[in-house]
Amino acid sequence: MLSKQQIKLVQTAVRAVGLRTAKDDRRYRLLLRQYKQPSAKPVTSCKQLNNSQLEDCLAICESLGFRCPGKPANYFRAKASRAKGGDISSFAQQSAIKHLAGDMGWSDKQLSLFIEKRVTGGAVSNIALLSSKQAYAAIEALKAILSRQTGKKYTSLTQIQNDMEVNNGKEQACKVG
């Protein structure tokens, strides 16, 4: 059973992202119906949510733009991911990998081969399926490859981005495989 504060937080979140308006709450009801009560009936009110369902619901609202005051921007998404036992790379890590591969002139196929053969040992070939630890390893490996190509030592992604802008992206493409 949720507390009054938790119910108020859900109501604030769904209104903030536009899932529930004064005239229409169909999207809000659709969101609630994805959760099941212990009796296997769909949830029809946020009062029927349990704590893990509440966190998942707030994670969905957070992904749509809701920010809980005093909490990090991905607070509920990280909490829901940990609760499900998943350690998924963040959007920022995935973007960094794509940008670094793009800076080196790699195609999607080359990047997939790199991820599969060098980073995960054949377990995963898709960036979206990397764990945060694997994504970190991929970023560091791509930074090292780029450092060897350009002859410069990079300590952050910002340095690489600034260097790529200065050089207008005229780096040589690197082959993988």
For position 109, what pLDDT does the model report? 92
Q: Which residues are CB-contacts of 12 (< 8 A; sequence separation ≥ 6)?
A: none
For position 19, what pLDDT does the model report? 92
Alpha helices in 19-131 (DSSP H): 26-33, 51-63, 75-83, 91-103, 108-114
- Cα distance between the two ends of the chain: 54
Kindly report the CA angle at 154 between 117 and 112, in degrees rounded to 5?
Answer: 20
For position 169, what pLDDT does the model report? 47
Is the pTM for the entire model greater than 0.75? Answer: no
pLDDT tens for each residue of 21-74: 989 999 999 999 999 988 889 999 999 998 888 888 999 999 999 998 888 888
The mean of the pLDDT values for the chain is 84
- Does the pLDDT of residue 164 top 90, yes or no? no
For position 86, what pLDDT does the model report? 61
Dist CA 56 CA 76 (whole Å) = 7
Torsion angles phi and psi, residue 14, rounded to 5: -70, -30
